[in-house]
Structure 1
Amino acid sequence: MSATLSLAWKSARNRKVTAILSILTVAISVILLLGVERIRTQAKSSFANTISGTDLIVGGRSGQVNLLLYSVFRIGNATNNIDWKSYQEFSQHRSVKWAIPISLGDSHKGFRVMGTNHSYFEHYRYGQKQNLVFTKGREFQQLFETVIGAEVAKELGYQIGSEIIIAHGISDVGFSRHDNLPFKVVGILAPTGTPVDKTVHVSLEAIEAIHVGWESGANLGNTPDAQQLQNRDFQPKQITAMMLGLKSKIQTFALQRQINTYTKEPLSAILPGVALHELWGMMSVAEQALMAVSAFVVIAGLLGMLSSLLTSLQERRREMAILRAMGARPRHVFSLLILEASSLTFIGILLGTFSLYWLLFVAAPFIQQSYGINLSVITLSNYELSLLALVQLAGTVIGFIPALRAYKQSLSDGMTIRI
């Protein structure tokens, strides 16, 4: 076996350009195959880790995916708001342990602004029930104070004490900005890999204060200044959604049914885990399409290697004939071609795997910053190892085709073969 391996290595060295191209073809195929799988699993994990420990999310009557998207992922807008009295009623429900109110609708330079209260920093969990941590500063306490996510601070270069201007609505344009009511940054949250990193957090009272004089959706020109607003007491009239944590999981479905049949206003209560599963199910078509594309690329790569082996085989008939004259049996020639194909595939797999890890190391910060997906540089999973084993098996099987041809030719070719 060692002699055959040594001979295969020397044969590959004599055709190093063809061998290198075959290895690169397999490597690129492996990079795409494992890359798609890694992004798929990490994206799914990032979605699942966005919210943890919340039993119910309540919003205006709508589909559960839409409610999940705007309340947790800050994507889209609510169909209806929730009356503050409804929030108070359910936050004080005997089954509810804690409640987090959320008010959305404003923005700052492309980042969503969220109004909330102390419960958010105390009870909101992500990942494996991890709580929010401040890298700098503290929670907001005064009316015009704000806490920003890690990505907001990084991209806009904000520090503790920086002043920001919030814009009315999603489009941050000049005529929609609350220019006379700047907010002071008093806290910066640690990175979470979730939409929290891209959120500007203010108090619910601040949301009410900045919209005094904007009741019609535009500035009517009679907006009080910050000093005048500081002396007022504000209570929200409406919020966008609320997150509920219950005293017992057993009470979840009973409270969900009670909220969904609430007669005072149309509300929807969803289970985050179920909504996440439905959301991922909607994306499964794209997921399967990516896997199919990567599988076809692997097949194309292996066919490219087969083509190069068959092309070089015609040029190597004299080599095979010499080996037969020196005492090599047909099965030795057969084994040589299979071992060569298997070795090229194995080297391609190694190169592709190491290249993927290097790409992940380089691209992970950019992907997390741009898409919020945390690509961890972790060891290969059992499923990924099985994919690589299938590629190795396919590469070995591919070697049987030129090996069979070489086997047949070596039986009939002699030293006087004409090429």
Structure 2
Amino acid sequence: MVFLSLALKSLKNRSFATILTVISIALSVMLLLSVERAKRAAEQGFTQTISKTDLIVGARSGPLQLILYTVFNMGNATHNISYETYETLKKHPAIEWTIPYSLGDGHRGFRVVGTTEDFFKHYHYRGQQKVKVAQGIEFKELFDVVLGAEVARKLNYRIGDKIVVTHGVTKGEGIQDHGDKPFVVSGILASTGTPLDRAIYMQLEGMEALHVDWQEGAAPTKDKIVPAHQLSKEKLHVHSITAFFVGTKSRIETLSLQRELNTYKGEPLLAIIPGVVLSELWQGLSFVEGVLKIISWMVIAVGFMAMLIALTTSLNERRREMAILRAIGAKSGQIVGLLVFESALLTLLGIVLGTALAFTLALVLGPWIEGEFGLYLAGPIFMWKELMYLGITFIGGTLIGLIPALRAQNLALKDGLSVRL
């Protein structure tokens, strides 16, 4: 209690330097926790972009390529799957549900995806989260589209607006527009913080309607254009899809179904378990995690240096204080103990303040960060790594106090009670 009373009075006497020291430690702790939480959010957001899907099935290529163009809408498939094969396989006794997924054209740099209403029923991300329409309704008519949250936000679209799809996956405005068959925005998805936000969704028949009058990939001449009002879902036949997602009736059957699909004789297929491939892909990007770890340790080091500078700078102002303590009988070990105790107290105050700041920032800025950068900051406030880092910070901050404490011990032996001018 004597140490605590002396330490509090000494810190109060140097209130300005004390506040600056606590703030420097608090900022370091805040940055440390924020970086660690951002790293955790990036990993969870990456590996949980899709969940509750047991298999993704596409044309035979490679697991990495398949996961990139289905889950992240990056790249293109080497081949498509015939729709007849899909219709046959969806009736497999081990399969409970499927989601057809067809990558098509683009619109001002965003990918267009053809699917069915099963997409809204069965697609999950981050565990139990389902795709929801925040505004409007799901596509019902042939030329309805549902926009991802980022598409609607960046292009400033509203319900009822018309959009024109561009042939091929393009950046910007594109070259060949399907201007004769405009689509109408029927709905806008709620923000998910995943690649779902950066795509445009339409019915499979709507994607077929875009190219019903195209021959061998070439745009039709004016006399061969089929007007949009002459088309209907009943008149269109889906020929192929890019891939499809599978939910099995029992997780136990997943591996046997995967082997069966990979050896399917009707056409060459590749079935992958998305969770496994996503984890492997994240491991391949481990250098990102390594960089973030280095940043975390550098933040701790900067905090230590800031505290050491503050304590050492204020030491000259305390030489008379140390001399008085020695004169009234304080031992040199007690002088050292007092300064180390002050360092521990400053570190603890900085940790508490920094933790509170990190928690407040995550709470206030979490929705904005999720919408802008796709980092989902919800979840446990502390994991074992964060607690370990805070423990290291406290121990390190306490030990840092030994440096000015030992120096003060030596100075106290030399200094007298006279004021130096």
CA pair 150-176 structure 1, distance change in 2 beyond 3 A = same
Q: What does 1:227-238 align with in structure 2 at a 5 Å threshold?
A: 227-230=229-232, 233-238=235-240
Distance in 2 of aligned mates of 1:39 and 1:216: 48
Residue 130 of structure 1 aligns with which residue? Answer: 129
Q: What does 1:242-391 align with in structure 2 at a 5 Å threshold?
A: 242-376=244-378, 379-391=381-393
Distance in 1 of aligned mates of 2:250 and 2:126: 21
Aligned residues: CA RMSD? 2.5
Instruction: Tell whether the 8 Å contact from 1:103 to 1:116 is kept in structure 2 after alignment.
Output: yes
Q: CA deviation at 1:231?
A: 7.8
User: Which residue identity lines up with residue 177 of structure 1 in the other structure?
Assistant: D
Q: CA deviation at 1:118?
A: 2.3
Residue 31 of structure 1 aligns with which residue? Answer: 30
Instruction: Tell whether the 8 Å contact from 1:55 to 1:249 is kept in structure 2 after alignment.
Output: yes
Distance in 1 of aligned mates of 2:74 and 2:18: 49
Distance in 1 of aligned mates of 2:229 and 2:62: 42
Instruction: Tell whether the 8 Å contact from 2:115 to 2:201 is kept in structure 1 after alignment.
Output: yes
Residue 194 of structure 1 aligns with which residue? Answer: 194
Residue 219 of structure 1 aligns with which residue? Answer: 219
Distance in 1 of aligned mates of 2:309 and 2:191: 49
Provide structure 1 residue ranges, at least 5 long, that are not aligned to the other structure: none
Greater shift, 241-250 or 218-227, is seen at 218-227
Deviations 1:281-327 (A, max 9, x none): 11222112211222022113202322332343244322211121133
Partner of 1:258, secondary structure, is helix
Are positions 1:158 and 2:157 aligned together? yes
User: Which residue identity lines up with residue 307 of structure 2 in the other structure?
Assistant: M
Partner of 1:103, secondary structure, is strand
Deviations 1:236-290 (A, max 9, x none): 2221111011122222112211222234433211101101211221122211221
CA pair 52-174 structure 1, distance change in 2 beyond 3 A = closer
Provide structure 2 residue ranges, at least 5 long, that are not aligned to the other structure: none
Distance in 2 of aligned mates of 1:116 and 1:208: 11
Residue 89 of structure 2 aligns with which residue? Answer: 90
Distance in 1 of aligned mates of 2:131 and 2:233: 31
CA pair 310-54 structure 1, distance change in 2 beyond 3 A = same
Greater shift, 391-400 or 171-180, is seen at 171-180
Partner of 2:31, secondary structure, is helix
Deviations 1:356-383 (A, max 9, x none): 2343345433322233222228633443
User: Which residue identity lines up with residue 187 of structure 2 in the other structure?
Assistant: G
CA pair 190-416 structure 1, distance change in 2 beyond 3 A = closer
User: Which residue identity lines up with residue 181 of structure 1 in the other structure?
Assistant: K
Instruction: Tell whether the 8 Å contact from 2:109 to 2:173 is kept in structure 1 after alignment.
Output: no
CA pair 124-260 structure 1, distance change in 2 beyond 3 A = same
Distance in 2 of aligned mates of 1:219 and 1:261: 37
Instruction: Tell whether the 8 Å contact from 1:77 to 1:105 is kept in structure 2 after alignment.
Output: no
Greater shift, 72-81 or 113-122, is seen at 72-81
Q: CA deviation at 1:401?
A: 2.1
User: Which residue identity lines up with residue 144 of structure 2 in the other structure?
Assistant: E
Distance in 1 of aligned mates of 2:77 and 2:123: 20
Are positions 1:77 and 2:79 aligned together? no
Partner of 1:251, secondary structure, is helix
Deviations 1:143-198 (A, max 9, x none): 11122233333443433322222222222425322112111222333333333233
Instruction: Tell whether the 8 Å contact from 2:163 to 2:183 is kept in structure 1 after alignment.
Output: yes
The share of aligned pairs that are identical, in percent, is 46
Residue 9 of structure 2 aligns with which residue? Answer: 10
Distance in 2 of aligned mates of 1:203 and 1:249: 29
Greater shift, 343-352 or 370-379, is seen at 370-379
Partner of 1:175, secondary structure, is coil
Distance in 2 of aligned mates of 1:301 and 1:130: 39
Distance in 1 of aligned mates of 2:365 and 2:267: 47
CA pair 333-45 structure 1, distance change in 2 beyond 3 A = same
Q: CA deviation at 1:403?
A: 1.7
Instruction: Tell whether the 8 Å contact from 2:104 to 2:207 is kept in structure 1 after alignment.
Output: no
Instruction: Tell whether the 8 Å contact from 2:359 to 2:381 is kept in structure 1 after alignment.
Output: no
Q: TM-score, structure 2 length as denominator? A: 0.90
Distance in 2 of aligned mates of 1:174 and 1:411: 80
Q: CA deviation at 1:342?
A: 1.4
Distance in 2 of aligned mates of 1:323 and 1:303: 27
Q: CA deviation at 1:418?
A: 6.5
How many residue pairs get matched?
418
Distance in 1 of aligned mates of 2:380 and 2:259: 42
Q: CA deviation at 1:79?
A: 2.9
CA pair 49-377 structure 1, distance change in 2 beyond 3 A = closer
Partner of 2:282, secondary structure, is helix
Distance in 2 of aligned mates of 1:103 and 1:412: 82
Q: CA deviation at 1:230?
A: 3.1
Greater shift, 257-266 or 109-118, is seen at 257-266
Distance in 2 of aligned mates of 1:238 and 1:231: 15
